[in-house]
Chain A
Amino acid sequence: MANAKPRVLPLAKRGLNFEMFMWLFTRLSALAMYGLILLAVIGALVMGARQQMSFADILRWGFMPNANHVQSTNVPELEPWATPFWAVTASLLLLLAVAHGVHGLVVIADDYITSERGRLIVRWLSIAMMISMSLMGLYLLWQDFLFPAG
């Protein structure tokens, strides 16, 4: 394998169809999510340092920087955590994660469902799942800003 030379075609020769676009999106969204999670972990370290926030709580915030994730911890007040900045960060993370994850489920399903009709059904289901998950997640992230009383 040491002598095998990888064949690299320029994008113009390869063509950019939807599958190729999603292949690239999967990798680029992964890179973007590393950045967002790193930002959230650094934020948790800064905001939670004085309360000696535990490792598990920092990671829970890192996976999704939503104020509800630190509600039951030893953080005394939620104000610095429940800001629009973190809601925007969490929204970006949510949308990228849902698109990345749903496409991953389609890739897995394609390994087992090989009929043309089955794959079409998988695609429609995946679109429905992606839209509903994104909308429900956005509602959960922004409900405290949109409906402060409830």
Chain B
Amino acid sequence: MGLKRNVPLATGLRYQGKSPQLTFVLHRIGGLGMAIFVTMHLLASFFGGDIGAFLNNIYENWLFQIFIFFCALFHAINGLRITILDLWPKLLEHQQEAIWVEWAVFIPIFGIAAFVILQSALGG
């Protein structure tokens, strides 16, 4: 293989991929976020101890719950779009509309969830 792309980070950041690229970036952040924290959570539960308890308590924090819920929900909804479009490639023509539908589903669910989590965290 040995690909050489030679694209500096600054050029990469200026790439105008619009909404499909935004979903790509968020999908990657969501997947990485879940992979890192699920790994840490599993290791913490397995080995236990003070560090384990500290790491596992992070999961109960409302700020973290909002972050990981963003990761999981976006990854799940965007993944469903990718799965449907990839398994029925004729639908790829409607990718832009699919992304609009995706945000129309994501924003209300995430908004309500974030509101409920905040309410129970700050309201007691």
Tell me the A residues contacting B by CB distance below 8 Å. 1-2, 4, 6, 8, 27, 30-31, 34, 37, 54-56, 59-60, 63, 68, 72, 97, 101-102, 104-105, 108, 114-116, 119, 129, 133, 136-137, 139-140
Contacts and interface: CB of A to CB of B under 8 A. Distances in A.
Given A104-B31, A140-B42, A27 B87 contact: yes
B86 to A, nearest CB: 6
A interface, over-half SS: helix
B74 to A, nearest CB: 13
Given A68-B45, A136-B42, 18 more contacts: A6-B89, A8-B89, A27-B86, A27-B87, A30-B83, A55-B113, A55-B117, A56-B116, A56-B117, A56-B120, A104-B31, A104-B35, A105-B35, A114-B3, A133-B39, A136-B46, A139-B46, A140-B46
B93 A6 contact: yes
A48 B96 CA distance: 39
Contacts of A55: 113, 116-117, 120
Contacts of A139: 46
A54 B34 CA distance: 22
B98 interface: no
Contacts of A116: 1-2
Range of interface residues on chain B? 35 or more
B17 interface: no
Contacts of A34: 76, 80
Nearest to A133: B42
Nearest to B76: A34
A54 B31 CA distance: 25
A66 to B, nearest CB: 9
Contact of B31 (A1, A101, A137): A101
A88 B87 CA distance: 28
